[in-house]
Chains A and B, each alone.
Chain A
Amino acid sequence: MVDHPPLNKISRRTALALPLGLAALSGTIFSNGFAKADEPVRGGTMVMIVQPEPSTLAHYAVTAGNIPPIATQIYEGLVTYDWDQNPQPNLATSWETAPDGKSITFKLREGVVFHNGKRFTSADVQFSVMEILKKYHPFAPLLLAELTGVDTPDEMTAVLRLANPAPYLMKGLAGRDLPIMCKSVFEGTQILQNASANKPIGTGPFKFGQWDRGQFVRLDRNDKYWKPGLPYLDHIIARFIPDAATRSAALETGEAHFAGYSAVNYADLARMKTNPILDTTMKGYEMTPALSVLELNAKHPPLDKKEVRQAIAYAIDRKVILRDVMYGYGKPATGPLSSLFKTVGFYTDDVRKYDVPDRLDIANKLLDGAGLPRGANGMRFGMHLEVNSFGEQWLRQAEYLKQALAIVGIDLTLRSEDTATWLRRVYTDYDYDINEPFLSQGVDPVYGLNKQYLTSQIRKGVTFVNDSFYANPEFDGILNEAMREQDHDKRAVLYKKAQQILAEDCPLVWLIDVQYVSVFNRKLRDHTTGPLGTQQAFERAWLET
Chain B
Amino acid sequence: MRLARYMGYRLVTALPVIFGIIVLNFLLIHLAPGDAASVLAGESGAATPEYMDALRHKFGLDQSLGMQFLTYVSNMAHFNLGYSYRNDADVSSLIFERLGPTSLLMLTAFGTAVALGIILGLVAATGRNSWRDNIISLISLVAYATPGFWLGLMMIVIFSIGLGWLPTSGFDTVGAGHEGWAEVWDVARHLVMPAVSLALFYLALYARLMRASVLEQTGMDYVTTARAKGQTERRIMTGHVLRNALLPIVTIAGVQAGNLIGGSIVVETVFGWPGIGTLAFNALQSRDLNLLLAIFFMSACLIVIINLAVDVIYVMLDPRMEI
Chain A CB within 8 A of B248 CB: no
CB-defined contacts of B285 to chain A, threshold 8 Å: 418-420
- For A434-471 the 0/1 string (1 means CB < 8 A from B) is 00000010000000000100000001011111000000
Structural contact, B278 and A214, CB atoms closer than 8 A = yes
Q: Are A249 and B279 in contact, CB atoms less than 8 angstroms apart?
A: no
Q: Contact string, B167-182, partner A, CB cutoff 8 A, digits 1/0?
A: 1111100110000000
* Set of chain B residues within 8 Å of A463, measured between Cβ atoms: 38, 41-42, 44-47
Q: CB-CB contacts of B17-60 with A at 8 A, as 1s and 0s?
A: 00000000000000011111011111111111101101100100
Could you name 14 residue pairs across A and B whose Cβ atoms are closer than 8 Å?
A62-B40, A136-B54, A138-B47, A214-B278, A215-B174, A215-B272, A216-B174, A237-B175, A249-B160, A418-B285, A421-B33, A424-B35, A459-B49, A462-B48
- Decide if A215 touches B52 in the complex (CB within 8 Å): no
Interface flag for A197 (CB, 8 Å):
yes
Residues of B within 8 A of A (CB): 32-36, 38-49, 51-52, 54-55, 58, 86-89, 94, 97-98, 101, 153, 156-157, 160-161, 164, 167-171, 174-175, 268-272, 274-275, 278-279, 284-287
Not counting A428-B38, A440-B45, a sample of 14 additional A-B residue pairs whose C-beta atoms are within 8 angstroms of each other reads: A56-B86, A63-B45, A64-B44, A138-B45, A140-B48, A213-B94, A218-B174, A241-B169, A241-B272, A250-B168, A420-B35, A423-B34, A424-B33, A463-B41
A242–B32 CA distance with the chains assembled, in angstroms: 23
Asked if A192 and B54 make an inter-chain contact with CB atoms under 8 angstroms apart, the answer reads: yes
Q: Is A382 an interface residue (CB 8 A)?
A: no
Residues of chain B lying within 8 A (CB to CB) of residue A464? 42, 45-46
Q: How many A-B Cβ pairs are below 8 Å?
A: 174
A235 within 8 A of B: yes
For B41, the chain A residues whose CB sits under 8 A away are: 138, 462-463
> Which of chain A's residues has its CB closest to B269's CB?
A242
Complex contact A237–B46 (CB within 8 A): no
Bound state CA distance, A128 and B45, in angstroms? Answer: 21
The answer to whether A420 touches B38, judged by C-beta atoms less than 8 angstroms apart, is yes
Q: How far is the CA of A465 from the CA of B89 in the complex (A)?
A: 30
Q: Do A253 and B167 touch (CB < 8 A)?
A: yes
Contact yes or no, A136 B38, CB < 8 A:
no
User: Which A residue sits closest to B35, measured CB to CB?
Assistant: A420
Tell me, yes or no, whether A427 is within 8 Å of chain B by CB: yes
Q: Chain A nearest CB: distance from B5 CB in Å?
A: 42
Quick check: A213 and B38 within 8 Å, CB to CB? Answer: no
A226 lies within 8 A of chain B by Cβ: no
Among B47, B54, B97, B271, the one with the most A-chain Cβ atoms within 10 Å of its Cβ is B47
A329 and B86 CA atoms in complex are apart in Å by 33
Residues of chain A with a CB closer than 8 A to B271's CB: 243, 246
Q: Tell me, yes or no, whether A47 is within 8 Å of chain B by CB.
A: yes
CB–CB B98/A243 < 8 A: no
- Which of A243, A255, A461 interacts with B52 by CB under 8 Å? A461
Return B87 CB to nearest CB of chain A, in Å: 6
A419 touches B49 (CB 8 A): no
A58 to B161, CA, bound (A): 36
Chain B CB within 8 A of A252 CB: yes
- With A242-B269, A249-B168 already in contact, the answer to whether A47 and B42 are too (CB < 8 A) is no
Q: Is the CB of B169 within 8 A of A139?
A: no
Contacts of B270 in A (CB 8 A): 243, 245-246
Does A55 lie at the interface of the complex (its beta carbon under 8 Å from any beta carbon of B)?
yes
B46 touches A142 (CB 8 A): yes
Query: Which of these, B39, B48, B171, B272, contacts A243 with CB under 8 Å?
Result: B272
Chain B residues near A459: list those with CB within 8 A.
48-49
Q: Does A487 contact B (CB under 8 A)?
A: no
The interface residues of chain B lying within 8 Å CB-to-CB of A63 are 44-45
Q: State the CA gap A463–B88 with chains docked (Å).
A: 21
Does A545 lie at the interface of the complex (its beta carbon under 8 Å from any beta carbon of B)? no
CB atoms of B274 and A138 under 8 A apart: no
**Quick one: closest B residue to A195, CB to CB?**
B88
Contact B34 A198 (CB under 8 A): no
Report the bound CA distance from A347 to B47 in whole Å: 26
Complex CA gap A459/B38 in Å reads 13
Taking a contact as CB atoms under 8 Å apart, the answer to whether B51 and A136 are in contact is yes
Task: Specify which of A64, A237, A427 lies most central, judged by the most chain B CB atoms within 10 Å of its CB.
Answer: A64
Chain A's closest residue to B172 (CB) is A215
State the Cβ distance, B122 to closest chain A Cβ, in Å: 36
Contact of A462 (CB < 8 Å), options: B47, B58, B167, B274: B47
- Contact yes or no, A139 B45, CB < 8 A: yes
Contact indicator B272/A55 (Cβ below 8 Å):
no
Contacts known (A192-B58, A464-B42); A213 close to B274, Cβ less than 8 A: yes
B48 touches A141 (CB 8 A): yes
Please tell me if A358 contacts chain B, counting CB pairs below 8 Å: no
B105 to chain A, nearest CB (A): 12
Of the candidates A139, A239, A246, the one having the most CB atoms from chain B within 10 angstroms of its own CB is A246
State how many angstroms separate the Cβ of B44 from the closest Cβ of chain A. 4
Q: Is the CB of B175 within 8 A of A197?
A: no
A451 to B40, CA, bound (A): 18
What CA separation (Å) do A372 and B270 show in the bound complex?
48
CB A514 to nearest CB in B, in angstroms, measures 14
Cα distance, A123 to B35, chains bound together (Å): 37
Question: Is A240 at the interface (CB under 8 A from chain B)?
Answer: yes
Q: Which residues of A contact B52 (CB under 8 A)?
A: 461-462
Docked CA distance A63–B44 (Å): 4
B145 → chain A, closest Cβ, in Å?
21
A45 at the B interface (CB under 8 A): yes
Beyond A243-B269, A463-B38, is A419–B286 a contact (Cβ under 8 Å)? yes
Q: In the complex, what residues of A have CB within 8 A of residue B47's CB?
A: 138, 462-463
CB within 8 Å for A212 and B97 given contacts A218-B175, A428-B38: yes
Interface residue from A138, A197, A255 paired with B168 (Cβ < 8 Å): A255
Contact A62 to B44, CB < 8 A, known contacts A239-B170, A424-B33: yes
